[in-house]
Amino acid sequence: MSKFKRVKKYKSDEKVTAKTFLKPAIYLLPFILGILVFTVYPFFNAVAISFKEDYKVISDTFSGWGLGNYQKIFSDPTFIKAIINTTQYVLVVVSISLVISILIAVMLNSVEKLQGLFQTAYFMPMVTSSAAIGLVWRWLFNYDYGILNYLLSLFDVDAINFLNNPQYSMISLCIYGVWSMLPFTIILLLAGLQNIDPQYYTAAKVDGAKTIDIFFNITVPLLAPTIGLVAIVNMISSFKVFDALYMLFGGKPGPAYNLYTVIFYLYEQFYTKLKLGYAAASAIVLFAIILLFTMVQNRIQKKYDYY
Amino acid sequence: MKNTERNKKIILYLILAIGAFIMFFPFFWMIITSLKTGFEANKVPPTIFPAKATLDNYVYALKTAPFLKYFKNSVIVTIFCVTITMFNTILAAFAFSKMRFPGRDIIFAALVAMMMIPFEMLIITNYSTIVKLGLYDTIIALIIPFTSSIFYTYILRNFFMSVPDSLYHSAKIDGASDWQFLWEILVPIAKPSLVTIALLNAIACWNSFLWSILVINSTENRTLPFGLFAFTNETGIRYERLMAGATIVVLPMIILFLFARKSIVTGVSRGGLKG
Confidence tier at B137 by pLDDT (50, 70, 90): very high
SS (H, E, C) chain A: CCCCCCCCCCCCCCCCCHHHHHHHHHHHHHHHHHHHHHHHHHHHHHHHHHCEECCECCCCECCEECCHHHHHHHCCHHHHHHHHHHHHHHHHHHHHHHHHHHHHHHHHHHCCCCHHHHHHHHHHHHCCCHHHHHHHHHHHCCCCCCHHHHHHHHCCCCCCCCCCCHHHHHHHHHHHHHHHHHHHHHHHHHHHHHCCCHHHHHHHHHCCCCHHHHHHHHHHHHHHHHHHHHHHHHHHHHHCCCHHHHHHCCCCCCCCCCCCCHHHHHHHHHHHCCCHHHHHHHHHHHHHHHHHHHHHHHHHHHHCCCC
Confidence tier at A211 by pLDDT (50, 70, 90): confident
Amino acid B270: pLDDT: 74
Confidence tier at A48 by pLDDT (50, 70, 90): very high
Amino acid B83: pLDDT: 97
CB-CB: which of A2, A117, A283 is closest to B121? A283
Stretch 161-220 of chain B: residues touching chain A, C-beta under 8 Å: 161, 178, 203, 206-207, 209-210, 214
**pTM of the full structure:** 0.89
Confidence tier at B274 by pLDDT (50, 70, 90): very low
In this prediction, residues B105-117 reach a mean pLDDT of 92
In this prediction, residues A113-125 reach a mean pLDDT of 91
CB-CB: which of A127, A147, A240 is closest to B46? A147
CB-CB: which of B128, B207, B258 is closest to A120? B258
pLDDT digits (tens, 9 = 90+) for A245-286: 999 998 899 999 999 999 999 999 999 998 999 999 999 999
Residue A205 has pLDDT above 90, yes or no: no
Proportion of chain A above pLDDT 90, given as a percent: 61
Rounded CA separation A274/B216 (Å) = 17
Residue B275 has pLDDT above 60, yes or no: no
The answer to whether residues B237 and B41 touch, using CB atoms and an 8 Å cutoff, is no
Residue A5 has pLDDT above 70, yes or no: no
Confidence tier at B234 by pLDDT (50, 70, 90): confident
Amino acid A13: pLDDT: 54
For residue B93, what are the CA distances in angstroms to B103, B112, B186? 15, 12, 11
Stretch 74-103 of chain B: residues touching chain A, C-beta under 8 Å: 87-89, 91-92, 94-96, 99-103
The answer to whether residues A189 and A102 touch, using CB atoms and an 8 Å cutoff, is yes
The answer to whether residues B84 and A33 touch, using CB atoms and an 8 Å cutoff, is no
Please tell me if residue A151 touches chain B, with a CB cutoff of 8 Å.
no
The number of C-alpha atoms within 13 Å of B207 and in the hemisphere containing its C-beta is 27
In this prediction, residues A116-130 reach a mean pLDDT of 92
Residue A124 has pLDDT above 60, yes or no: yes
Amino acid B237: pLDDT: 81
pLDDT digits (tens, 9 = 90+) for B62-80: 988 899 999 999 999 999 9
Helix A130-140 to helix B224-234 angle, to the nearest 10 degrees? 30
In this prediction, residues A15-31 reach a mean pLDDT of 86
CB-CB: which of B16, B253, B269 is closest to A127? B253
Spatial CA neighbour of B206 closest among B111, B79, B107: B79
Confidence tier at A196 by pLDDT (50, 70, 90): confident
Q: Verify whether the Cβ–Cβ distance B268 to A120 is below 8 Å.
A: no
Please tell me if residue B20 touches chain A, with a CB cutoff of 8 Å.
yes
**A-to-B residue pairs, Cβ atoms closer than 8 angstroms:** 280
Residue B273 has pLDDT above 70, yes or no: no
Q: Verify whether the Cβ–Cβ distance A187 to B265 is below 8 Å.
A: yes
**Can you give the residue ranges of every domain in chain B?**
60-271
Confidence tier at A305 by pLDDT (50, 70, 90): low
pLDDT digits (tens, 9 = 90+) for A80-99: 999 999 999 999 999 999 99
All domains in chain A, ordered by first residue: 72-303 (1.10.3720.10)
Q: Verify whether the Cβ–Cβ distance A27 to B91 is below 8 Å.
A: yes
SS (H, E, C) chain B: CHHHHHHHHHHHHHHHHHHHHHHHHHHHHHHHHHCCCHHHHCCCCCCCCCCCCCCHHHHHHHHHCCHHHHHHHHHHHHHHHHHHHHHHHHHHHHHHHCCCCCCHHHHHHHHHHHCCCCHHHHHHHHHHHHHHCCCCCCCHHHCHHHCCCHHHHHHHHHHHHHCCHHHHHHHHHCCCCHHHHHHHHHHHHCHHHHHHHHHHHHHHHHHCCHHHHHHCCCHHHCCHHHHHHHHHHHCCCCHHHHHHHHHHHHHHHHHHHHHHHHHHHHHHHHHCCCC
Interface with B, mutate which of A135, A234, A306 (most B CBs under 10 A): A135
Amino acid B256: pLDDT: 94
In B, minimum Cα distance to A60 occurs at B128
Please tell me if residue B249 touches chain A, with a CB cutoff of 8 Å.
yes
ipTM of the predicted structure?
0.90
Q: Residue B153: list chain A partners with CB under 8 A.
A: 31
Q: Verify whether the Cβ–Cβ distance A243 to B225 is below 8 Å.
A: yes
Mean pLDDT of chain A: 89
CB-CB: which of A38, A150, A240 is closest to B120? A240
Query: ∠ at Cα A172 (A168, A175), nearest 5°?
Result: 140
Confidence tier at B41 by pLDDT (50, 70, 90): confident
**CATH architecture of the domain formed by B60-271:** Orthogonal Bundle (1.10)
Rounded CA separation B194/B89 (Å) = 10
Q: Residue A126: list chain B partners with CB under 8 A.
A: 264, 268, 273
Amino acid B2: pLDDT: 65
Residue A3 has pLDDT above 80, yes or no: no
Amino acid B272: pLDDT: 55
In B, minimum Cα distance to A292 occurs at B116
